[in-house]
Amino acid sequence: MGNTGANRFQMAVIVVGMLMMKLSFGDAARTGGVVGFSTELIPRSSPLSPLYNPSRSKYEDLKDAIQRSKKRASKIEAPLRPGGLEYVMRVSIGTPPVELLGIADTGSDLIWTQCLPCTDCYDQTLPFYNPRRSSSFKTISCSSDKCSELPSRGSGCDNKNVCSYQYGYGDNSVTSGDLATERFTIGSGRNSAVPNIAFGCSHTARGTFDKSQNGLIGLGRGALSLVSQLGGSARKFSYCLAPISANSTTKISFGSDALVSGSKVVTTPLITDPSQDTFYFLSLESLSIGNSKNIIPFQASDGGNVIIDSGTVLTLLPQDVVDQLVSDLDKSIRLPKVDDPTQELSLCYKVEGSDFESELPKITAHFKGADVVLNPINTFLEVAQGVVCLGIVPSEQLSIIGNVAQVNFLVGYDLDAQTLSFKPTDCTKQD
């Protein structure tokens, strides 16, 4: 090969290399490349949260969260809505990027934020998103595949052939507007900017939303959730929930950054329910208290019998399971019993000092293939100064493992392997 041929060959290699580099950096999430990025996850009621409201006590937030948690299971046909003590995910949207602080919610799919012009929106602390200021904003046509992925009862078409959506939640809250695509930036890694993510540009939002939230980031299993749209190796994510009372932030990770490994990891299958494709169903086989051999059985189901949800605070289980759990706990706890000042929970105790957890037993949740030991911080709530109550309540319909039960666990979701992993972790010290 002469010099001319060699130079042409070298140039071709360089061009191919540049194209491959561009592909791996810009479109890795969509082509199955190795992608890894993380962003901040903040307890909404923490003083570190931009949405923190200093005029409300932690007990007021908790009471509201308890009430909403009970409503979440009452409408199984509707997506769930966060219940007051949630975790805020920090992302950016648009070109140039504008910060969006959305509630991270594994109980719903749609990503949405309030957009200008807002015809019937609730007041919010943060500025409204203005799509006219972004060069990467694009509405979705009614004939697009993305539009067809909306629930049939929640999609429509306006007179300009723009796909419109209406999304209702289990507490009767509603958001509606245009379905659009935008560039989302998640964290600061080289692969963190992902184009063409479908989201709801909300022009109407009514219900129990409050001004401290400006949207949701759906992390469910449905096609329009963030994790489903990332695709490729990014169809894995993990988070570590710090206690709501902790003055600490943590992170949520995607793709290769979402690895959950080590000797203490336990893994259980994610079970598919075709009628409820948003939720992450698990098979909970039984519960046990402390070292007791007395097992509280849970009704088995081939389709899964409980979901895990980051947006519900309490854990909700069938009435007979809760009754047996309350009875067994009452026999094993020696603390003085008191009435619940919130009038929402049962089995409350008077405690003194900050070391009350040593006087409360651990509860083991026996999932299929995975025993998860829940510490008192996962099962009891401090509802008032010196009063703790059991944060597990009965549900007539949907059973839910709420976010309190997930505190201080690294929880990893793998949508391709269809598994969920737990690793005991001090989430206040997560790197």
Q: State the catalytic residues.
A: 105, 309
What distance in Å separates the CA atoms of residue 322 and residue 333, rounded to the nearest whole number? Answer: 16
What distance in Å separates the CA atoms of residue 26 and residue 20, rounded to the nearest whole number? Answer: 10
Instruction: Report the DSSP beta bridge partners of residue 112.
Output: 200, 216
For the chain, give the secondary structure using H, E and C: CCHHHHHHHHHHHHHHHHHHHHHHHHCHHHHCCCCEEEEEEEECCCCCCCCCCCCCCHHHHHHHHHHHHHHHCCCCCCCCCCCCCCEEEEEEECCCCEEEEEEEECCCCCCEEEECCCCECCCCCCCCECHHHCCCCEECECCCHHHHCCCHHHEEECCCCEEEEEEECCCCCEEEEEEEEEEEECCCCCCCEEEEEEEEEEEEEECCCCCCCCEEEECCCCCCCHHHHHCHHHCEEEEEECCCCCCCCEEEEEEHHHCCCCCCCEEEECECCCCCCCCCEECEEEEEECCCCCEEECCCCCCCCEEECCCCCCEEECHHHHHHHHHHHHHHCCCCEECCCCCCCCCEEECCCCCHHHHCCCEEEEECCEEEEECHHHHEEEEECCEEEECEEECCCCCEECCHHHECEEEEEECCCCEEEEEECCHHHCC
For the chain, the C-alpha Rg in angstroms (whole number) is: 23
Half-sphere exposure of 313 (CA within 13 A, CB side): 28
Burial class (CB in 10 A: 0-12, 13-18, 19+), 123: exposed
What distance in Å separates the CA atoms of residue 254 and residue 266, rounded to the nearest whole number? Answer: 19
